[in-house]
């Protein structure tokens, strides 16, 4: 059993194995995309289904190999990425019996997300983004207050001028979201209101300056900082590598002393 475990671990960590899985995930992504074309789905639907099921079983074998090769079941299922892969593949088997139910078929596209857990650079990027979540709390609170204040002001000032944009608080918030993304905010929102109320320029200019150029840049700064920290952890300096080697040697010496 120990030999099987070591063999599975060697296979699961081999670069060729990982590259093959990445290639198959890309093939699966192409199949999911092709199936959205009705002409292709009608003509090659059966073939796509067969290939899809073959890929599902290959991914199942991959998960089994990784599961056997892991140090323990607890270690496998406590690893977020391993658990993510397991859930995605397991959901594929659940969908087999309901393959022609549209909602469940849509869930098959989630299998493409496994590329994140397989490709190290993508995994590192997602980990960095997840690290930003705690830091985002204060910024999101600030952004919510900012939107709410301007939403109320916009509703009070432009409810009669532009009811389609500021007729109610929720429509004002939706309009402000469009404005803060800089999508047609001048020609589509500001100028029609400016033609009816020339003094409204201050509302949009201050909102853009504060919302887009200040608060959104705080988001970008937090994300960039976490990405840099994640890269620093992946690429250790020569001194840190040397310290890690010394620490490993000390641990081995301690283990030998305990055995004696």
Q: Are residues 138 and 229 in the same domain?
A: yes
Q: State whether 195 and 139 are in the same domain.
A: yes
- Residue 208 near residue 180, CB atoms below 8 Å: yes
Q: Do residues 236 and 131 both lie within one domain?
A: yes
Same-domain check for residues 87 and 163: no
- Tell me, yes or no, if the pTM score tops 0.75: no
pLDDT at 101: 46
Domain match, 131 and 199 both? yes
pLDDT reported for residue 34: 82
Q: Which CATH number characterizes residue 242's domain?
A: 1.10.287.70
Question: pLDDT digits over 133-162, tens only?
Answer: 777 777 788 888 899 999 999 999 998 888
Task: Check pLDDT > 70 for residue 86.
Answer: yes
CATH number at residue 77: 1.20.120.350
Q: What angle, rounded to 10 degrees, do the helices at 120-158 and 216-234 form?
A: 170
Domain with 153, as residue range(s), is: 124-259
In 3-state terms, what secondary structure has residue 52?
helix
């Amino acid at each position: 059993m120990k030999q099987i475990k070591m063999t599975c671990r060697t296979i699961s960590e081999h670069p060729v194995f990982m590259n093959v899985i990445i290639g198959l995930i890309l093939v699966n992504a192409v199949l999911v995309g092709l199936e959205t074309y009705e002409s292709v789905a009608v003509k090659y639907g059966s073939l796509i289904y067969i290939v899809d099921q073959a890929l599902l079983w290959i991914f199942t074998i991959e998960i089994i190999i990784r599961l056997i090769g892991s140090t323990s079941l607890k270690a496998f299922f406590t690893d977020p990425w391993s658990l993510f892969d397991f859930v995605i593949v397991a959901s594929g088997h659940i969908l087999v019996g309901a393959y022609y139910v549209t909602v469940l078929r849509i869930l098959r596209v989630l299998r493409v997300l496994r590329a994140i857990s397989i490709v190290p650079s993508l995994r590192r990027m997602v980990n960095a983004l997840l690290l930003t979540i705690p830091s985002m709390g204060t910024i999101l609170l600030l952004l919510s207050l900012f939107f709410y204040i301007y939403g109320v002001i916009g509703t009070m000032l432009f409810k009669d001028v532009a009811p389609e944009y500021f007729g109610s608080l929720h429509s004002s918030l939706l309009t402000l979201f469009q404005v803060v993304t800089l999508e047609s905010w001048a020609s589509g929102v500001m100028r029609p209101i400016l033609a009816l109320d020339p003094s409204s320029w201050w509302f949009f200019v201050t909102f853009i300056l504060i919302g887009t150029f200040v608060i959104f840049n705080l988001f970008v700064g937090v994300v960039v900082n976490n990405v840099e920290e994640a890269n620093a952890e992946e690429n250790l300096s020569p001194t840190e590598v040397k310290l890690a080697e010394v620490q490993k040697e000390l641990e081995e010496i301690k283990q030998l002393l305990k055995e004696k």
